[in-house]
Amino acid sequence: MINTHLILPGATVGILGSGQLGRMLALEARALGYRVHVFSPEPDSPTAAVADREFIGDYADETAVREFAKTVDVVTFEFENIPVEATSAAAECTLVRPDGKVLHITQNRLREKGFILSKGLPVTPFREVRSLEALHAATEDLGLPGVLKTADFGYDGKGQVKITSRDQLSQAWHRMNGLTAIYEKFVSFEKELSVVAARSANGDFVAYPVFENTHSHHILDVTLCPARISPKQSEVATELARQLLESLEVVGVLTVELFLSHEGSLLINELAPRVHNSGHLTIDACVTSQFEQQIRAVCGLPLGETSLFQPAAMVNLLGDVWGNGEPSWAQALKDPRVKLHLYGKRHPRPGRKMGHMTAAAPTQAEATQAVVAAKRRLSEPRSGI
């Protein structure tokens, strides 16, 4: 019988997916006293290194997913590109949180934006594109510039192309390889923001202070918190997150990515039904990290406090940092406020997320300056401290 009640420490949490998000989930689950099983498509993953048991198989292998699910008391997932069929197979054997329907909506940009629009919430203007002719019509309707994206399975800028002139339409459509796409009007924004929030099975809701994000080549570079926005804008962003989590009946963490326009209005860009890169600073800067919050939510424990100890900032460490050999970790950590988190990935490569650093300080500007300077020091000679 599937357990829909409180899942207490000592039980086993299953994680579909085995990257750095799963690793940090597993570490928090173990700190709370849970055992952790992970389902991974390949061995030697970041999560497997800290889990109690690893199952290796393809997400499309529903028999393998069921065997995994039979060994745990609840299943959650670390990223949204897992086939919905995998969560359905797991749900035949145990509890899955968030429910697979949340995954189904959020892993397809058309379903996601259609859902947001159906709830009367502000979303970036979009059109469905299934042909070159439809792309021409979309650009006529919404104008240029715009962004053409695959409807399914995209993140960190993958599967998308910016279009600035009609001369680019044919080539842009060719890059979609015949897949259903979405054309979005390019939004000129002042800031990129995110709200990481959680909802429990009984409907309790909490949100972290709004994060402000800067990206480089479509990949998150620096996050700072609290965001440099007005209290009213922060209130509106949090309320949008609340409405989305309640409408989707999320049990767990969901992240809402937003644009703040130059006119001061907020537009929802994307949803991530999971813990999020921009929320990594919560590990060091908040009473309850986003990862602990996810475990609390999916296991039915009371949600934790989300307030900041101090203003904080985070910088991503991509494989590019290893371009001239092993980074100078000791140099980076000269500032005692800087905290280093590495994900246990053996092979750095450009664009691959290898770790992050955070810092907290009396002011947000000081925290941001600390992590940016620490990252710069990673390229200094590896001599004595």
Domain residue spans in the chain?
12-96, 125-185, 189-377
Cβ-contact 215, 351 below 8 angstroms: no
Predicted confidence (pLDDT) per residue in 245-297, tens digit:
999 999 999 999 999 999 999 999 999 999 999 999 999 999 999 999 999 99
Residue with tokens 């109690």: 52
Q: What class has domain 125-185? A: alpha beta
C-alpha dist (Å) from residue 10 to 29, 32, 252, 302: 10, 9, 19, 17
Q: What class has domain 189-377? A: alpha beta
Q: Which fold has domain 12-96?
A: Rossmann fold (3.40.50)
d(CA 353, CA 272): 17
What is the pLDDT, as a whole number, of residue 2?
A: 43
**What's the first-to-final CA gap in the chain, in angstroms?**
58
Question: What pTM was computed for the model?
Answer: 0.95
What is the pLDDT, as a whole number, of residue 159?
A: 80
Residue with tokens 């086939």: 83
- Percentage of the chain beyond pLDDT 70 is 97
Predicted confidence (pLDDT) per residue in 343-382, tens digit:
999 999 999 999 999 999 999 999 999 999 999 999 998 7
Ramachandran assignment for 10, one of left (phi > 0), alpha (psi -120 to 50 degrees), beta (any other): left
Cβ-contact 225, 281 below 8 angstroms: yes
